[in-house]
Amino acid sequence: MEVCPAQALLRVHKDRNRVISTVYLSRCGYRPCKRQPEFFSLIPRTAWAEVAARGVICGRGSRSSKTFKPKKNIPEGSHQYELLKHAEATLGSGNLRMAVMLPEGEDLNEWVAVNTVDFFNQINMLYGTITDFCTEESCPVMSAGPKYEYHWADGTNIKKPIKCSAPKYIDYLMTWVQDQLDDETLFPSKIGVPFPKNFMSVAKTILKRLFRVYAHIYHQHFDPVIQLQEEAHLNTSFKHFIFFVQEFNLIDRRELAPLQELIEKLTSKDR
């Protein structure tokens, strides 16, 4: 049975008052966790572990031979660690609109950096469980439905956009994002080190490209997501992502067009 992305919200679990979860992401997902000692979301405490377990049991992600890089944790006592704790507390309230707001007195760049890392981790986990469905044969081009196709270029290694399969595109994308997050000149983790002047521009590009992975999953792989019973996790993660980028105008509305109908359904009750 085919389910269009706009119907995805209907499958969200009825229990709206989810308890905050803190789950280590060490062995599961497509690429390693970055910078964060903990992963936080509105999804129940065991949910991400269950997602990973289902992926392992069903063989999802086995196609990739990639290994995880060492985690770059945020040390306890640091300001970024305190921001993570604040995010946990506000996410636990169940109000995503409030959870994404800039905490009073905090630096916008720091807040965007912490959340960008979080969304990268979330998308790693979600895509990592369906990689067996996203192959060169099933997805010869990176697309989000019949109207939207993406070509890859990073401006450095690949300067001119190239047409490639979805798994290749996403591999390029995740590798590129990981490199940006690991760059201390772009995402400084040490206290007192300022963010560069072009930080917000880089963050916007990262989030714009991460959106394309959500769009590809919804349009091309939502049936496997349902089979793995991950639709509630996917919807919650995407709703959090959309509220955040809307709050700070981080993605142009035109870029969101592939999932506009779903976005309207997910956000209509929270305006």
58 is in an annotated binding site: no
For 80-116, give the DSSP string: HHHHHHHHHHHHTTT-HHHHTSPPTT--HHHHHHHHH
Q: Cα-flanking dihedrals φ and ψ of residue 21, to 5°? A: -115, 145
Of residues 11, 31, 19, the one with CA closest to residue 119: 31
User: If you ran DSSP here, which 8-state letter would residue 71 be given?
Assistant: P
33 is in an annotated binding site: no
240 is in an annotated binding site: no
Q: What is the rounded distance in angstroms from the CA atom of residue 241 to the CA atom of residue 235?
A: 10
164 is in an annotated binding site: no
Nearest-10 Cα torsion for 241, 242, 248, 253: 140
Angle at 215 between CA 210 and CA 220, to 5 degrees: 130
Would you list which residues are annotated within the binding site for Zn(2+)? 134, 139, 216, 221
Would you list which residues are annotated within the binding site? 134, 139, 216, 221
